[in-house]
Structures are given as C-alpha cells and as structure tokens.
C-alpha cells in the first residue's frame, strides 16, 4: 500500500491501489481517459500531478494529452478544493445589483483570486450562474447555505461563521 502523498502525514493510503484497479478496469477500453479521470477525481477530490502522471503512464497516453483533457473540461479540478465552497452568482440580476463588489471584497478578505483556495484550505472561491434566487440578488452561497442581498460590508461577518 502506498503512503499518503497529499500532506506528508505518512499514513497508509489505499487510494493509489484503487486508482491502479480503476486504470486496469478501463485500460483495454476505448475512450478510457475520461472515465479514469472521473474516478480519480472521486478518489482524491481533485487531480494531483502524480495521479495524472500515473494515469498517463499506465494508459500509455502522452502526459500532455492527459493535461489537455483535464484542463479542457470544467468539472475536473487540478487544485484541491477548500473545506467550504463559496459561490457568487454572476447572473444578470446579481450582476446589476453589485455582485462584482461582493466578489472583490471576498478576494480581499480571503487573499485569493476566483477559483483559488485559501492557504489554510478553508475556502474556495468560485463564480456561479444564476442559482434561481434572483429576488434576493446579489446572492452568495457557502456550501448549501444561501445568502441574499449581500453587500461588501456583510462579507466579513458571513465568513466568520465558517472559520
């Protein structure tokens, strides 16, 4: 069994064994790359570099092609996601009511850009489409919680609940 490579904790990590089983299962099939990437992301939560290298080597696909597919589809993540996922709707109603100011405040408070994760791994910031709560625009979500009529002044207090 391999040792955890994510955080250096030295614990046994059976995800690499599972990854190898997954690759073996699809190896002989046509179009194996996408289902293998899907399965790998389910196992690891994202697609670390060494996982992409393993997939390329075992499927005998050039690494550039593996990266190409992993970066082309938005549902693949090459970076780990934070514990809490923040989404700000940039649908029309939210946009005209100041969603961009909320995004700018979040970036400032968290010291990250959109699609990045804070250094402590607590938050990932993403932009979303309309989440169907336009009457509450601008809308921000954290995990399954929805916050309406968000202003930059409210951002700090909302974040505190998740720290």
Residues in contact with ligand FES by the rule CB under 6 A: 89, 91-94, 130-131, 133-134, 137, 139
* 54 or 89: CB nearest ligand FES: 89
Least distance to ligand FES from the beta carbon of 118, Å? 24
> What dihedral do alpha carbons 158, 159, 161, 163 form, nearest 10°?
-170
Residue 117: asked if its preceding bond is cis (omega within 30°), the reply is no
Least distance to ligand FES from the beta carbon of 139, Å? 4
Tell me the three state secondary structure of residue 142: strand
* Type and span of the H or E element at 71: helix 63-72
* N- to C-terminal Cα separation, the chain: 35
* 43 or 131: CB nearest ligand FES: 131
The rounded distance, in Å, linking the Cα atoms of 135 and 97 is 11
Least distance to ligand FES from the beta carbon of 73, Å? 24
* 80 or 98: CB nearest ligand FES: 98
Q: Which residue is at the shortest CB distance from ligand FES?
A: 91
Least distance to ligand FES from the beta carbon of 154, Å? 16
Q: Which of 71, 3, 81 is nearest to 33 (CA)?
A: 71
* 33 or 88: CB nearest ligand FES: 88
């Amino acid at each position: 069994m391999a040792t955890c490579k994510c955080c250096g904790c030295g614990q046994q990590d059976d995800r690499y064994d599972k990854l190898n089983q997954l690759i073996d299962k699809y190896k002989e099939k046509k179009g194996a790359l996408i289902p293998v990437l899907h399965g790998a992301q389910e196992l690891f939560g994202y697609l670390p570099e060494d996982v992409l290298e393993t997939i390329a080597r075992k499927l005998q696909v050039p690494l550039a092609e593996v990266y190409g597919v992993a970066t082309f589809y938005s549902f693949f993540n090459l970076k780990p996601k934070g514990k809490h996922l923040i989404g700000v709707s940039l649908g029309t109603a939210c946009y005209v009511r100041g969603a961009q100011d909320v995004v700018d405040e979040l970036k400032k408070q968290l010291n990250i850009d959109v699609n990045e994760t804070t250094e402590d791994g607590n938050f990932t910031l993403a932009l979303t489409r309309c989440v169907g709560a336009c009457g509450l625009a601008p809308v921000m979500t954290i995990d399954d919680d929805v916050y309406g009529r968000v202003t930059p002044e409210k951002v700090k207090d909302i974040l505190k609940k998740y720290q």
